[in-house]
Amino acid sequence: MALKQCSLCDRKFTKLEHVKRHERSHTRERPYECPTCKKHFSRSDVLFRHCKGHAQNALNRQQQNQQQHQLNGKKSDENQNHPNAQQTEAGPNGAPTPQLQHDQSLSPLSRRRSSQQIPQNENQQNTNRSPSIHVRRPSITQHASPSDSRLEALINAAAHLEPPSDVPWRSPSPINIGTDNDRFLTRAQDSMPPPIDPAMDMLSFSPAGHVSSLDQWAFELVQSNHPMPNRTPADALQTWLFPLDNDILATNGSHHMAIDSHFDHDGFRHPAENQASPSGSSASIASRIPRERFARVESCWPSRNRKSTRLMPTLWQNLVLCESTNILSEIGPGVIETPISERERRNSRWGLDDECRDMLQGALNNASQALPSVFRAESYGDTASSSGDAGASPGGEGIQFPPAEILDIALEMYLYYFHPTLPIIHIPTFSAKNAPRTLLLSMCLIGLNILGTAGASKFVSKTFPTVLQMVLSELQSVSTRDYPPEKQLRIIATALLTLNLASITGRKSRIAHSEKLYAELISTAQNHGLFSANESPPPDSLLDEIMDIDARWKAWSRIECVKRTIVGLLEADCWYAAYLSASPMIRPETVQILPPSEYNLYHANSPTKWFHLIQRGSRIHTNRITPSYLPTPGLKLESTSFRSLLTLLLLRAYEANDRLANANSPQKHMEPWRVYSEDPRSRELIPLLVNLSSSSIDALRTADLNSAVLWHASCMMLGCNIRFFELAAGRAGPGPAVAALEDISAWSQTPSARRSVLHAAHIFKLLFDRKVSDIVNPHSVLSLFQAALVLGLYIFTLPTTAPSCGIENNCIELLDLVDWTCVGHVGLMENPTAPTTPLGFGDGSVVNFIRNGGAFSITGIAMEGGYLAARRTLLHCADLMDGMGRWKSRTFSQILHIMSDDLTETDGPDSDEA
């Protein structure tokens, strides 16, 4: 059998089809042919440099020809007009090569950068000078042979794809290539090497023009190598001259050609590369761009220090999947969580033993080293020793770290007296041993402050700056470190407790130090979307999927803990906005929250009791509420939902007062409801608050004590601007106080004033008649302070000619029970006399007093206008405030004592003594 030989090499084959397949492999390996010398090249960049070499040879021959003409003494004008000037030297292919025609519109060698043009010396004898210092004369006309014309057309086509001449040499970027759906090849990461001759890099080819300027021969040449339908000459030359990244695959430093799937169906790539991409290409999307380019782009942007991940979109799901029994417990990696044994419960109900005490003391000692010097004078940590005793403080006094027994008592004081006001701790699953140190320290300091002994108060004062700095540092790290969701929530809850530690005492020094923590905490909560419950689906379905009762109870308790923390953040913003007389940080119109469930359900101490309460009708799911939530008339709201809704409405009132402060006359500002009725964002506040009287407030006060106080305080704020009363008390000094008293004197003659006084009196009554089991929260203390200002200054500014209580006069007792559904909008609306309104307007003594005024009494004592009656009222409120809670609201009660000129109050508001 005759052997068939390959026409391109010496190899022989037995079959013709083998020869054809072998010859096709030659085409794949060496697909690029030089149009001048017919040499083949396997890479387009090598062919490009080879073609530039031809161009340099032609340029050198032109220089020699010019020098020869100069030596013969020919004039430049004759050279320009001579049409048959030719070169006699042979080209690289052995045939005479005529000089290239120098037409600026056609030749790619006609221009170079102006910065590189150097005047030529006419007497220069070297005829082989480098093109980098030779100046071509544009007036010389030359003829081009077909071969050189093709060479020039090829280089001209390359100029359309070549990088600009004024930037360093680099490979063409696939990002800048306009592709269709049929061209998805990519470049390898190695860029094209520089030209063979460095001087060639200084040449400037003709600029990119329209595709019609490309030579048709070059386009046909490319089409013969890579046939593809619907391709333009520019597309074909782009791919042929500069193959994309996936055309050149590097293996152990050697390169071989890999044709795109449009040209090759034999599958030269790895199996992973043959997976279809979303765009239909065999190459993945990411493989089309070198990874080095992504790194270069990354360096153009500043580093991101803050995390962009929000907690809320996946908050409930993360809480359900959390491994900790209690969300506020911190279990180390690899440690198995074990419940407290019955023996440990008998010795210390909460597990706070000597080991926990030593852990807390060590945390304080370590934190005090990093405390700024401005706080060290008040910090316990500066003076504490490892044995638990403290040396002399800067003031000359020593202090001792409390023993474990005292800390355990302080923890009980916290859980009995403060926890009902902010129930974020799930008591049945709480253990002091598993709690984070800063959280446990905050709880103990609140308990010691409630305990109120001299040693406990002094320890709180010395320790507070250190704990505050520890909590602030942890909170600031949330935005920069990748903590799991449960750890972030523990830090947020700890910061909330620390803020309340500052607020329950009312000391302005502690509150001033806590302002930075307050701003950081609310900003962090907003950034994580904790006030945007609409960003995630409700957790109902997640809980219903859990079949095990114990697991469902624990997952539900973690969710409830976070719900109560979110409500606590809203209350903290309300409290600080009122205390600082500033706008709240939270935008109330965007708030959407899930209110907590019933209190007794949250404190069921076992999954069995919890499930039993659910079977008896307790609800574990709550409906989402917003600031514009409109309750159904006659429907009784749950206490937790009612309190959350009132907090949102009060937040809106504070925001509106600050936003509309300079919008109208002072008289309108004395009656905020007038300003609200003209503001589209606030006008619905009035009906929302009034309608709540029919759903959750009645004459017998069956609602929660603190919720009832909050409702009265909100209605009182509709009829009077509390800022004017604070100014009249002397918040900004004597000057503003005089002007505010004049405004209050005019306000006291309005129906709004008489309704506000009625609400203020009922705040006093609710807190005076409280039961022993009722726990008063800090917001109720603030409401009592505001009610005292309204009552006292109203009585003080009454004219002396006002009617007094007599035998024949119809005197109203301000503390008598009131049916608020009959009062309706009286005093909060212009002429509310329509009998067909849903709530109605009665003609009783209370409504008559609001409309027309008249004599009144408090606890049976007739009130007359003037300082003496006002002084008595202020002292009664101050006395009630001092004995109302397990903590002392020093600043508020101190202000009332000063206003009443009480000489028995000698301690300053920031005194550290008990």
CATH code (residue 27)? 3.30.160.60
Using alpha carbons, select from 442, 449, 445, 529 the residue that is nearest to residue 494.
442
Question: What is the structure's pLDDT at 297?
Answer: 87
412 burial level (CB within 10 Å; 0-12, 13-18, 19+): middle
Indicate whether this model's pTM tops 0.85: no
Would 821 be classed as within a structural domain?
yes
Q: From the first residue on, what is the mean pLDDT of each consecutive set of 10 residues in the chain (914 residues)?
A: 71 76 68 74 72 81 80 56 44 44 43 43 44 42 50 56 44 42 42 44 42 47 48 48 44 40 40 43 71 84 70 93 90 67 59 89 83 49 39 45 93 92 92 92 94 90 93 93 92 96 82 93 95 92 94 96 97 93 91 92 93 92 82 69 90 90 68 91 89 65 81 94 93 92 93 96 93 86 94 90 66 88 88 48 75 88 87 92 70 86 52 43
Structure tokens at 73: 């003494």
Please check whether residue 393 is in contact with residue 462, taking contact to mean a CB–CB distance below 8 angstroms.
yes
pLDDT at 108: 41
SS3 string, 38-57, reads: CCEECCHHHHHHHHHHHHHH
Where among 65, 90, 111 does a domain terminate? 65
Sort residue 281 into left (φ over 0), alpha (ψ -120 to 50) or beta.
Answer: beta
Tokens 């024949």 — which residue?
A: 808
pLDDT value of residue 156: 59
Query: Cα separation of 207 and 214, whole Å?
Result: 12
Q: Could you say which DSSP state residue 214 is in? A: S
DSSP state, residue 287:
G
Last residue of a domain, one of 46, 65, 84: 65
Model pLDDT, residue 153: 58
Phi/psi-derived region of residue 252, left when phi > 0, alpha when psi is between -120 and 50, beta in every other case: left
Q: What angle do CA 429, 431, 435 make, to 5 degrees?
A: 115
Residue 801 falls inside a structural domain:
yes
Secondary structure element (H or E) that encloses residue 40, with its range: strand 40-41
Report which of 432, 428, 364 is spatially closest to residue 399, judged by C-alpha positions.
Answer: 364
The SS3 assignment for 43 reads coil
Contact yes or no for 874/901 (Cβ under 8 A): no
Number of neighbours of residue 204 by Cβ within 10 angstroms:
18
**Contact (CB, 8 A) for 327 and 558:** yes
Burial of 593 (0-12, 13-18, 19+ CB in 10 A): buried
Report CA 887 to chain centroid distance, whole Å: 36
What are the φ/ψ torsions at residue 903 (nearest 5 degrees)? -80, -10
Tokens 């006094």 — which residue? 397
Give me the helix-helix angle, 146-161 and 233-241, nearest 10°: 90
Enumerate residues 6+ apart whose C-beta is below 8 A from 45.
192, 193, 242
Q: Are 447 and 341 in contact (CB under 8 A)?
A: no
Residue 122's alpha-carbon distances to 127, 392, 577, 609, 636, in angstroms, are: 11, 96, 88, 109, 107
H helices of 326-413, in order, are: 342-347, 354-369, 373-376, 404-413
| Assigned domain for 876 exists | yes
Cβ atoms of 757 and 794 within 8 Å: the answer is: yes
Asked if the structure places residue 605 within a domain, the reply is no
| Residues paired with 625 in a beta bridge | 593
pLDDT at 549: 95
Kindly state the helix (H) or strand (E) to which residue 861 belongs, with its residue range: strand 861-862
Do 574 and 651 contact (CB within 8 A), yes or no? Answer: yes
Strands 254-257 and 812-813 come out as unpaired
> Treating both helix axes as pointing N-terminal to C-terminal, what angle do 549-580 and 485-503 enclose, rounded to 10 degrees?
40
Question: What does the alpha-carbon distance between residue 409 and residue 511 come to, in Å, rounded to a whole number?
Answer: 26
Contact 531, 525 (CB under 8 A): yes
Position 809 scores a pLDDT of 64
How many CA atoms are closer than 13 Å to the CA of 863, on its beta-carbon side?
Answer: 29
What is residue 345's predicted lDDT score, i.e. its pLDDT?
55
Q: How far is 873 from 793, CA to CA, in rounded Å?
A: 10
H helices within 252-353, ranges in order? 291-298, 315-321, 342-347
Structural contact between residues 73 and 130, judged by C-beta atoms closer than 8 angstroms: no
Those residues with Cβ within 8 angstroms of residue 799's Cβ, 6 or more apart along the chain or in another chain: 865
In a domain, 750, yes or no: yes
The last residue of one of the domains, among 65, 83, 98, is: 65
Residue ranges making up the domain that contains 727: 671-831+840-903
Burial 652-671 (b: 16+ CB within 10 A, else e): bbbbbbeebeeeeeeebbbb
The verdict on residue 705 lying in a domain is: yes
pLDDT of residue 337: 67
CA distance 749 to 231: 88
Q: What amino acid is encoded at 677 in this protein?
A: S
Handedness of CA 107, 113, 114, 117 (dihedral sign): negative
User: Residue 813: helix, strand or coil by DSSP?
Assistant: strand
Q: What are phi and psi of 248, to 5 degrees?
A: -120, 110
Give the total number of structural domains in the chain: 2
- Tokens of residue 455, six digits: 């040693």
| Dist CA 440 CA 360 (whole Å) | 8
Nearest-angstrom CA–CA distance, 201 and 147: 23
Kind plus residue range of the DSSP H or E element containing 33: strand 32-33
* Secondary structure class of 683 (helix, strand, coil): coil
Task: Decide: 154 and 215 in contact? Cβ < 8 Å.
Answer: yes
Q: What is the layout of strands, in order, in the sheet containing 856-858?
A: 812-813, 856-858, 861-862
Q: Tell me the C-alpha distance between 295 and 614, whole Å.
A: 57
Q: Name 126's Cβ contacts closer than 8 Å, sequence gap at least 6.
A: none
Alpha-carbon gap, residue 636 to 633, rounded angstroms: 9
Q: How high is the pLDDT of residue 307? A: 58
Question: What is the spatial distance between Cα 796 and Cα 871, in angstroms, rounded to a whole number?
Answer: 8
pLDDT for 787: 97
What's the rounded Cα separation, in Å, for the pair 439 and 682? 38
Residues 6+ apart with CB under 8 A from 610: 553, 556, 601, 604
Q: Classify residue 194: in a domain, yes or no.
A: no
Amino acid at 752: S
